[in-house]
Amino acid sequence: MFRKMLLVISVLLVLYSVTLAQTSRESARKFDEFGDIDASYEIARLDNFAIAVQQQPGSKAFLIVYRTRRDLPGLNNRYAHWMRSYLLYSRGLPAERVVIVDGGVTTCLWQELWIVMPGTAPKPRDDVYGNNPQPSVYKFDEHYYQIEKPNPDEPIYWPSAPENLIGYLEAYGETLLKDRKLVAYLVAFRDADRDDRSVTQRMLRTERDFLIKEFRINPARIKTIDGGYSQSRTMELWLAQPGYRPIITSYRVAR
């Protein structure tokens, strides 16, 4: 009888250990979190994150970004895409294993790295606000064009490759698809020290064509504006209800 009891207890302990291991293995786990930090520190954290994801077969890397009320709506997606691009092209993670999540609005700019097993999901922050209704016309996001010349034969670096532009324009394009009444306004500014008008025209044409090709946006819904001169090459992404348009007053530079 005693041996039978020991055998039963041993079996129960083994089953409990297996169940505990499976539960631990299959749960979503927050690996790291941080605010707005220097790129070098962020890269180090992403390196550790990539190693941890690779060591857990079947898991996915979830990148969650929260913004504040003061941030532009497209910031979440832009920050998350930067991290995703690094994990894909510098750390070799497969695209299907890296998921971007727009966390919405909270009290501070915050970024979370989760390791998620099948059948589980990350837990959102408790202090997430509801998205407020947007005004009739507002700036959705903005980004800059680099000045470096990776190729001596190419006078300007253009982020025209899909893997580059998608990080800037994905959330913008998806918002246009969700609300087909919205009108897109692309506003380009050229560098005051080195550019002429052909630069802003090329910037506008590149991003307009990308929205039409990748998101099937009706060309009539995409308006382009040459904003003039600025301290650097900048593209502003605006959204407007029919009958409204942005009033461009920022980034003016006297010549």
Q: Which domains does the chain have, with CATH numbers?
A: 28-132 (3.30.1330.60), 137-240 (3.30.1330.60)
CB count in 10 Å sphere of residue 51: 10
Does an H or E element contain 138, and which? strand 137-144
Q: Kindly give the confidence (pLDDT) of every residue in the chain, 255 residues in length, as a single tens digit, with 9 standing for 90 and above.
A: 545 444 444 544 444 444 444 444 468 999 999 999 998 999 999 999 999 999 999 999 999 999 999 999 999 998 998 899 899 989 999 999 999 999 999 999 999 999 999 999 999 999 998 766 789 999 999 998 765 444 544 444 344 444 567 778 989 999 999 999 999 999 999 988 888 899 999 999 999 999 999 999 999 999 999 999 888 889 999 999 999 999 886 555 544
Nearest to 214 by CA among 165, 178, 144: 165
DSSP state at residue 101: E
Residue 152 Rama label (left phi>0; alpha psi -120 to 50; beta): alpha
DSSP state at residue 129: B
CA distances to 8, 235, 243 from 142, in Å = 65, 6, 22
Helices (H) and strands (E) in the chain, counts: 5, 8
Those residues with Cβ within 8 angstroms of residue 141's Cβ, 6 or more apart along the chain or in another chain: 72, 73, 74, 75, 78, 168, 171, 172, 236, 237
Give the pLDDT score at 118: 93
Phi then psi for residue 223, to 5 deg, are: -105, 145
DSSP strand pairing (110-116 vs 29-34): antiparallel
**Can you tell me the distance from the alpha carbon of 151 to that of 81, in angstroms, rounded to the nearest whole number?**
25
**Can you tell me the distance from the alpha carbon of 234 to that of 229, in angstroms, rounded to the nearest whole number?**
9
Give the pLDDT score at 254: 45
Q: Helix, strand, or coil here: 233? A: coil
Give the pLDDT score at 18: 40
Residue 251 Rama label (left phi>0; alpha psi -120 to 50; beta): left
Judge whether 170 and 140 are in contact, CB under 8 Å: no
